[in-house]
A and B are shown apart, each in its own frame.
Chain A
Amino acid sequence: KAGVTQTPRYLIKTRGQQVTLSCSPISGHRSVSWYQQTPGQGLQFLFEYFSETQRNKGNFPGRFSGRQFSNSRSEMNVSTLELGDSALYLCASSLGQGDGTQPQHFGDGTRLSIL
């Protein structure tokens, strides 16, 4: 069974640009969550999508947005990039019952560097 696939693996952008990251969940998984990992802040929750709807959201500015398609694939967009957005962006998928009984499985992330 294929795991969570994130593309691209590496990305370099400059300040002010925007970027779109892609995540393909494990087959059958309906929930996709996004996390940001930085050396200073660790792993932080961005948002979660379930059945094409944002179900939960973390404490990030509106420049960070996402969406989910009918096949459960998800994209994350960051507009007006800042130096502080340099991070590893991780996607995780799960069956999505919402009660914690089923684990989230992570991809290997997209490493975004802002110059």
Chain B
Amino acid sequence: DAKTTQPPSMDCAEGRAANLPCNHSTISGNEYVYWYRQIHSQGPQYIIHGLKNNETNEMASLIITEDRKSSTLILPHATLRDTAVYYCIVFLSYNQGGKLIFGQGTELSVKP
């Protein structure tokens, strides 16, 4: 079972910041939070991951709360090409199965 909860869909205006929330209240201390996105008929694309600290790369920023029970993915200037399903995932370390547990994700629609 997925260890994360996300809203099923969100809309965002082109050029504005998209803030995608995720709850992971049962996360363990050494489990990473990962974000992927999937555009129809393609494989999931890695976006960003983090453990405790906020992270930023060329694609997005990841804000993790101090208690680690939730996080937010921020796309600073959304474009139409950012329309996709976004998955927030807790990575289970290899002594727990070593796998990404995907939930249903958030379908983000970026509108002009």
**Which residues of A are at the interface with B, using a C-beta cutoff of 8 A?**
4, 33, 35, 42-45, 48, 55-56, 58, 90, 92, 98-101, 103-109
Q: With A100-B93, A103-B34, A103-B49 in contact, is A108–B43 under 8 Å at CB?
A: yes
Q: With A42-B104, A58-B99 in contact, is A98–B94 under 8 Å at CB?
A: yes
Query: Contact between B44 and A106 (Cβ–Cβ < 8 Å)?
Result: yes
Which partner residue on chain B sits nearest A45 by CB separation? B99
Which range holds the interface residue count of chain B?
A: 20 to 34
CA of A42 to CA of B107, assembled, Å: 13
Cross-interface CB contact of A43 among B34, B44, B45, B93, cutoff 8 Å: B44
Q: Given the complex, which residues of A lie within 8 Å of B32, measured CB to CB? A: 100-101
Cross-interface CB contact of A103 among B46, B93, B99, B104, cutoff 8 Å: B46
CA of A115 to CA of B87, assembled, Å: 31
Query: Contact between A98 and B98 (Cβ–Cβ < 8 Å)?
Result: yes
Which partner residue on chain B sits nearest A91 by CB separation? B43
Which partner residue on chain A sits nearest B102 by CB separation? A43
Query: Contact between B44 and A90 (Cβ–Cβ < 8 Å)?
Result: yes
| B103 interface hit (Cβ, 8 Å) | yes
Among B43, B49, B51, residue most surrounded by chain A Cβ atoms (within 10 Å): B43
Which partner residue on chain B sits nearest A109 by CB separation? B43
Cross-interface CB contact of B43 among A56, A103, A107, cutoff 8 Å: A107
Q: With A42-B102, A45-B101, A48-B99 in contact, is A56–B94 under 8 Å at CB?
A: yes
CA of A58 to CA of B96, assembled, Å: 11
Which partner residue on chain A sits nearest B33 by CB separation? A100
- Give chain B interface residues in 5-34, CB to chain A under 8 Å: 30-32, 34
Q: Given the complex, which residues of B lie within 8 Å of A108, measured CB to CB? A: 41-43
